[in-house]
Amino acid sequence: MERDEHKKCVISALTDAQKIAFAPLTFQAVNAMLELGLLKQIDSRPECIYVLKEELNLSEYTVSTLLEVAEASGIVNFNDGIYSITPLGQAFLYDEMTRVNFNFVKDVCYKGAEKLSESFITGEPKGLKAMFGDAATIYPYLSKLPQDMKNSWFEFDHYYSDNCFDIVYKIITPVSQIFDIGANTGKFEKVCRKYNKDINLTLIDLPQNIEVIRNDPELAGCKFHAANILEEADNLPEISGAVVMSQFLDCFSPQQIKFILEKVAKAALDDTKIYILEPFIDRQKFEGAKLSLVHTSLYFTCMANGCSKMYSFSEMETIIKDAGLKVNAVYDALGAHDYTLLECVKNV
Amino acid sequence: MERDEHKKCVISALTDAQKIAFAPLTFQAVNAMLELGLLKQIDSRPECIYVLKEELNLSEYTVSTLLEVAEASGIVNFNDGIYSITPLGQAFLYDEMTRVNFNFVKDVCYKGAEKLSESFITGEPKGLKAMFGDAATIYPYLSKLPQDMKNSWFEFDHYYSDNCFDIVYKIITPVSQIFDIGANTGKFEKVCRKYNKDINLTLIDLPQNIEVIRNDPELAGCKFHAANILEEADNLPEISGAVVMSQFLDCFSPQQIKFILEKVAKAALDDTKIYILEPFIDRQKFEGAKLSLVHTSLYFTCMANGCSKMYSFSEMETIIKDAGLKVNAVYDALGAHDYTLLECVKNV
């Protein structure tokens, strides 16, 4: 009996191993089924291959080969000669997270992922460097990406940028003033001003980004501070009230994060609240969300910068302590993607 | 209650969808863990990341990023700070089928799989054509493949060429003579002669292949017939006794198979036994074996010829009937990979 159990476990492991071994082909088969309209057609009405090939003007070879893969992968069911879609198959058609993740991997990561080992060994995004030899990070090259790649990058960025700013605003206010490090397009500031037109806001970002947002009429009255936070020479303004870093620290390595937090601490008063908003690997309700986060780390490795990742709460807490700060409060499960807001202060 | 069940089903589908959406990254992460020795090290002794990074001389970033993916994918377990390997993780280290499939996908299929839709639409192996513009099939280019790709191709070919020839010989004998279409290196003939030194054997293959094997001393006394079976003008010799086609028909489209079988029927006597040896998708005991077969079809699509696949028994039976033959007997579950031997005769 125990032997039977062991055998079952081994067979199940071997099945799962073949799923991973052939995974790139499964992935591209799903893509072909989406591009050729096969999944959509089966979703609209279960059909046999002979009807499907007529309706879609595809060869029988195309339809049967793809649907055999789909059936073995749980994307369609096959009964009495008729293919019907499963909930898994429908996810590729209707679920926005799935669609965005899929296109991001297809257009942004697929090719570069071949350079993963090399990227880890060198600490450089070798997938990106295969496209742009001089690139240290992807950010200055975003406008130069091929169109599909650019679209999928921005869709991914946009999808995961629902930063639950309304909730964050309510948690951190009232406060005398807010400093937003890595302010990007000023999305958070626009939310703040929705609630309080006169709130004192300072946006901190790279000089080239500050140039872009400085003249946004919706940000009129805000202060702007241009700095490369990783540069020793670039100082922060004196900070009081609250500092916010929203999905900012995951673009940096642990060493860089420590450097940034130390710099923030130096500029801050003892009672300044330092807020970190991140989706943490170990604070996810859904397994699918955790899967997305840990794999997004690999994008950072081979395509974005070669050194950053999505962090776990426990990793971040260690870095926070190393930087001379402490976590005062933890606000979990914020927004659609289970973000966590950490409230930190100087450990004095 | 029913609503809860539905919700569970949707969440589980979304999790599975993320697994597929990020599958190419999971695949390349496994490759990195193999290349960097991480899986092997954890298999030899469960460890924390700090010990692992020292032992392997890797960055903490490399170890933690890869192991978070591995943990989320069921390749390692994580308990109390210690990573240990799972049976799934061990499959990548110790299971030959998994290793061979994995390397085949990595070195032969990964890049070309991006051309899957295009290959289906045109009926040409566009992944192969991206490497060799003029190539219609991969076979004449095997010697020109990059070294890793060549190695993985031949390992895959070799692994799945345990054609259970001893069992086949015992099933089809006694017989006056045997014609082997697609004889390749004459492996089957060598098995036949082990049992009967004087057996009457004819090897049929492409002229360039016949040139290669004609002088093999182990095949001395065999007859050789050079023909491109797809050419109208290339006739077969008159056939009596038995015809064997071992893992030959999966290199052709259904239309081509029908043409081949009609040609065989024309050359055969009414009582000639026509044997077809194939692993059939719908005759596999193990789910992992079925997964391998249906995904191997995609290799044929984008890399090998753009038109062939691994077949199901039911598909093959339809083609056999269309060609004016009938299935007389079915011998299932032969050898290590669940091959099926079909005995066919002319439907007179």
The closest CB to that of A17, out of B95, B120, B298, belongs to: B95
Segment B311-342, tens digit of pLDDT: 999 999 999 999 999 999 999 999 888 999 99
What's the pLDDT at B160? 87
For chain A, the 3-state helix, strand and coil shares in percent, each to the nearest 5, are 55, 15, 30
Q: B327 pairs with which residues across the strands? A: B344
- CA nearest to A298, candidates B56, B216, B33, B69: B69
* Residue numbers of chain A with a pLDDT score lower than 50: none
Residue B162 confidence (pLDDT): 67
Residue A37 backbone class (left: φ over 0; alpha: ψ -120 to 50; beta: rest): left
Phi, psi of B324 (to 5 degrees): 85, 20
Assigned architecture for domain B161-346: 3-Layer(aba) Sandwich (3.40)
> Containing H/E element for A225?
strand A223-226
Domain boundaries, chain B: 2-93, 96-158, 161-346
B34 touching A, CB under 8 A?
no
Question: Is A340 strand, coil or helix?
Answer: strand
Coil vs helix vs strand at A338: coil
**Residue of A111, A116, A302, A305 best to disrupt the B interface, most CBs of B under 10 A:** A116
What is the DSSP track for B205-225?
A: E-HHHHHHHTT-GGGTT-EEE
pLDDT of residue A162: 67
Q: What does the pLDDT read at residue B260?
A: 97
From the candidates A15, A35, A120, A301, which should be mutated to test the interface with B, based on the most B CB atoms within 10 A? Answer: A120
Is residue B47 within 8 A of residue A47, CB to CB? The reply is no
B19: contact with A, CB 8 A cutoff: yes
The helix, strand and coil proportions of chain B, stated in percent and rounded to the nearest 5, come to 55, 15, 30
Interface touch B111/A109, C-beta < 8 Å: no
CATH architecture entry for A95-158: Up-down Bundle (1.20)
Task: Give the Cα separation of A57 and A37 in Å (integer).
Answer: 10
Token pair of A261, please? 């937090």
pLDDT at A185: 87
Pairing of strands A339-346, A273-278: antiparallel
Listed by number, the residues of chain B in 250-279 with a beta carbon closer than 8 Å to a beta carbon of chain A are 253-254
Beta carbons of A276 and A342 less than 8 angstroms apart: yes
CB–CB contact A291 B101 (8 Å): no
Show Cβ contacts of residue A188 under 8 Å, excluding neighbours closer than 6 positions. Answer: A163, A165, A168, A169, A180, A244, A246
Omega before A125 within 30 of 0, i.e. cis:
no
Q: Is A11 on the interface with B (CB under 8 A)?
A: yes
Contacts of B71 in chain A (CB under 8 A): 294
Q: Kindly identify which residue of chain A lies nearest to residue B121, measuring between CA atoms.
A: A58
* Whole-angstrom distance, CA of residue B135 vs CA of residue B129: 6
Indicate the residue of A9, A32, A101 with minimum beta-carbon distance to B117. Answer: A32
ipTM score of complex: 0.94
- Per CB-CB distance under 8 Å, the chain B contacts of A72 are 287, 290-291, 294-295
Question: Chain B within 8 Å of A5 (Cβ-Cβ)?
Answer: no
Whether residue B174 has a cis bond before it, omega within 30° of 0 = yes
The radius of gyration of chain B's CA atoms, rounded to the nearest angstrom, is 24
Q: Which CATH number fits domain B96-158: 3.40.50.300, 1.10.260.40, 1.20.58.1390, 1.10.10.10?
A: 1.20.58.1390
Of B98, B114, B123, the CB nearest to A14: B98
Q: Among all chains, which residue has been given the structure tokens 């929705």?
A: A194
Distance CA A114, CA A301 (A): 11
Q: What are phi and psi of B278, to 5 degrees?
A: -150, 150
Q: Across chain B, which distance is largest between two alpha carbons, in Å?
A: 74
A330 to chain B, closest Cα gap in Å: 22
CATH class of A2-93: mainly alpha
pLDDT tens per residue across span B123-156: 999 999 999 999 999 988 998 999 999 999 999 9
Within an 8 Å CB–CB cutoff, is residue A304 touching chain B? no
Contact between residue A25 and residue A15 where contact means Cβ atoms under 8 Å apart: no
Contact B13 A87 (CB under 8 A): yes
Contact status of A27 with chain B (Cβ, < 8 Å)? yes
Q: Which stretches of chain B drop beneath a pLDDT of 70? A: 1, 162-163
Question: Nearest CA of chain B to the CA of A280: how many Å?
Answer: 12
Look at the domain A161-287+294-346 and name its fold. Answer: Rossmann fold (3.40.50)
Task: Give the span between the Cα atoms of B99 and B30, in whole angstroms.
Answer: 11
Which residues of chain B does A116 touch, with a Cβ-Cβ cutoff of 8 Å? 25, 28-29, 31-32
Q: Do A30 and B16 touch (CB under 8 A)?
A: no
Q: Hey, is the C-beta of B305 within 8 angstroms of any chain A C-beta?
A: no
Under 8 Å CB pairs connecting chains A and B tally to 259
Q: Check if the beta carbon of residue A180 is closer than 8 Å to that of residue A210.
A: no
* Cβ-defined contact of B113 to A25 (cutoff 8 Å): yes
